[in-house]
């Protein structure tokens, strides 16, 4: 029976560009069997795209130097034999992880000298800033729980039985002199598959617990800005209650727009970190649930300790994010209120302007009518004068049987009427539609 290879396509169908990555993700971090006794060193380094490519090139050189194939350009997981054990490389969204397991130098004593065959010596090229450093010893159980727990700080010591008591995991989440978080796993009756699964989950718990805590400094750093914006918003809201006038409201709206821009800039800066913190914290909770740990009388469990120590930090992150979201809503409502007031002020200003224009128009109409009356009188005066000259000439020529002065006086009403009708017809001819 043939099987489809990840990235291939049955019957020659054209695959989706992400098909290989999607199918391979399910198998990206398989549990590797672990045989007791064993020592594990695990590191996580923060990387960006440029550093990731340099790290991939380093790993490729390391693999080829040992006659092994290096990781492919799209690989997210790679394992190579190294120093009597295996070196596992994993690529994540914002970090790369290296885990090496090798033979324990002392099968009876925890945290003895490290094997000299581990790969993290002077030749190891650190890909980025160190985030996580773990040393985990998997040793057979000697029945000396008191002696084991005494190796850890009593203030933060966690002891838990896993897989129905088949394994015992002890840590205090503190760094030793080499900067490692120490974890001791006692094998009571674990098979190799169970041991491998337990080891990987414990390493991932410490890794993702540390990554989740990256959100706390970010939240603490942005908290003063959030408080400042809250105070400024409260001051603006108080001023809104007593401020009137278009210019004053526009000034408040500009200040409010500045606060909104500041908040959105900070939200954009922290949104990824806060989202990653929530995701990592949920991964830790899921991993703890998968351990099915049992309480050892007289000692705290991993779940209870992390809930007591990590949950306050997670609540701080969630609180800052909720405050920012609530502040964004308040800024939006305040801006809407101010825009409404500005719109009302603009409408009032426009209404006053229209009333002023109407007043000026009425005055212009009255002035025009006055000018028209004066024009009729002036024109009539000149016309009557012309008529008088004509009548005097007619009298001298013996063509007018009556006195010219009397005839001129009689012509005045006629001239006035004619001039008035003429001016009125001219005004109507030049007036806009609807103003006749």
What pLDDT, on a 0 to 100 scale, did the predictor assign at position 106?
79
Q: What is the pLDDT of residues 294-339, one digit of tens each?
A: 888 888 899 999 998 899 999 999 999 999 999 999 988 888 887 7
* 395 within some domain: yes
Identify whether residues 178 and 321 lie together within a single domain.
Answer: no
Identify whether residues 336 and 294 lie together within a single domain.
Answer: yes
Residue range 383-400: mean pLDDT, rounded: 75
Q: Percent of the chain at pLDDT above 70?
A: 90
pLDDT of residue 283 exceeding 90? yes
Identify whether residues 97 and 179 lie together within a single domain.
Answer: yes
* 220 within some domain: yes
Mean per-residue pLDDT over the chain, rounded: 84
Residue where the block lists tokens 């101010």: 338
Identify whether residues 335 and 383 lie together within a single domain.
Answer: no
Q: What is the pLDDT of residues 15-52, one digit of tens each?
A: 777 666 666 666 566 678 888 899 999 999 999 888 88
The number of distinct structural domains making up the chain is 3
Task: Tell me the C-alpha distance between 377 and 389, whole Å.
Answer: 18
Identify whether residues 178 and 37 lie together within a single domain.
Answer: yes
Identify whether residues 270 and 338 lie together within a single domain.
Answer: yes
Identify whether residues 42 and 178 lie together within a single domain.
Answer: yes
* 15 within some domain: no
**Low-confidence winner among 88-97, 282-291, 426-435 (lowest mean pLDDT):** 426-435
pLDDT of residue 144 exceeding 50? yes
What pLDDT, on a 0 to 100 scale, did the predictor assign at position 433?
58
Global pTM?
A: 0.74
Identify whether residues 422 and 372 lie together within a single domain.
Answer: yes
Identify whether residues 398 and 375 lie together within a single domain.
Answer: yes
**Which of the four pLDDT bands, split at 50, 70 and 90, describes residue 274?**
very high
* 20 within some domain: no
Task: Give the H or E element holding residue 43.
Answer: strand 38-46
Residue range 238-265: mean pLDDT, rounded: 83
pLDDT of residue 200 exceeding 70? yes
* 111 within some domain: yes
Task: Give the H or E element holding residue 53.
Answer: helix 49-65
Identify whether residues 266 and 117 lie together within a single domain.
Answer: no
More confident residue, 156 or 105: 156
What pLDDT, on a 0 to 100 scale, did the predictor assign at position 364?
79
Identify whether residues 241 and 295 lie together within a single domain.
Answer: yes
- Of 113, 99, 125, nearest to 177 by C-alpha is 113
Q: Tell me which of 156, 182, 204 is where a domain ends.
A: 204
User: Can you read off the two tokens belonging to residue 392?
Assistant: 């005097």
pLDDT of residue 111 exceeding 80? yes
Domain residues for the domain of 125 are 26-204
* 12 within some domain: no
Identify whether residues 183 and 309 lie together within a single domain.
Answer: no
Distance, C-alpha 260 to centroid of its chain: 14
* 406 within some domain: yes
* 21 within some domain: no
Beta strand residue intervals within 181-338, DSSP E: 181-187, 294-295
- CB 135 within 8 Å of CB 183: yes
What pLDDT, on a 0 to 100 scale, did the predictor assign at position 11?
65
């Amino acid at each position: 029976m043939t099987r489809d290879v990840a990235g291939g396509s049955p019957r020659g169908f054209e695959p989706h560009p992400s098909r290989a990555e999607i199918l391979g993700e399910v198998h990206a971090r398989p549990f590797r069997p672990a045989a007791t006794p064993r020592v594990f060193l695990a590191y996580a380094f923060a990387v960006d795209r440029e550093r990731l490519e340099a790290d991939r090139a380093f790993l490729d050189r390391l693999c080829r130097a040992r006659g092994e194939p290096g990781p492919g350009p799209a690989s997210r997981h790679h394992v190579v034999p190294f120093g009597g054990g295996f070196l596992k490389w994993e690529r994540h969204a914002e970090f790369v992880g290296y885990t090496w397991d090798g033979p324990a130098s002392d099968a009876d004593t925890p945290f003895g000298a490290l094997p000299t065959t581990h790969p993290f010596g002077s030749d190891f090229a650190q890909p980025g800033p160190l985030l996580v450093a773990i040393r985990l010893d998997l040793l057979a159980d000697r029945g000396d729980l008191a002696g084991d727990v005494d190796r850890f700080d009593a203030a933060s010591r966690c002891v838990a039985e896993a897989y129905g008591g088949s394994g015992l995991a002890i840590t205090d989440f503190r760094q030793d002199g080499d900067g490692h978080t120490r974890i001791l796993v006692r094998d009571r009756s674990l098979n190799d598959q169970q041991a491998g699964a337990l080891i990987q989950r414990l390493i991932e718990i410490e890794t993702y617990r540390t990554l989740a805590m990256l959100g706390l400094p970010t939240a603490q750093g942005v908290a003063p800005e959030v408080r400042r914006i809250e105070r400024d918003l409260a001051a603006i809201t108080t001023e809104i209650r007593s401020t009137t006038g278009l210019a004053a409201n526009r000034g408040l709206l500009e200040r409010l727009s500045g606060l909104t821009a500041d908040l959105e800039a900070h939200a954009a800066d922290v949104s990824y970190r806060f989202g990653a913190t929530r995701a990592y914290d949920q991964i830790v909770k899921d991993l703890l649930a998968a351990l099915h740990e049992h309480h050892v009388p007289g000692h705290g469990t991993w779940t209870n300790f992390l809930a007591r120590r990590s949950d306050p930090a997670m609540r701080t992150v969630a609180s800052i994010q909720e405050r920012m979201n609530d502040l964004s809503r308040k800024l939006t409502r305040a801006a809407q209120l101010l825009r409404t007031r500005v719109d009302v002020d603009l409408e009032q200003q426009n209404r006053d302007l229209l009333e002023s224009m109407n007043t000026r128009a009425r005055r212009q109409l009255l002035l025009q009518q006055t000018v028209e009356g004066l024009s009729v009188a002036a024109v009539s005066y000149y016309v009557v004068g012309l008529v008088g000259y004509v009548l005097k000439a007619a009298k001298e020529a013996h063509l007018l049987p009556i006195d010219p002065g009397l005839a001129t006086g009689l012509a005045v009403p006629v001239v006035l009427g004619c001039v008035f009708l003429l001016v009125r017809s001219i005004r109507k001819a030049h007036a806009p539609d609807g103003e006749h």
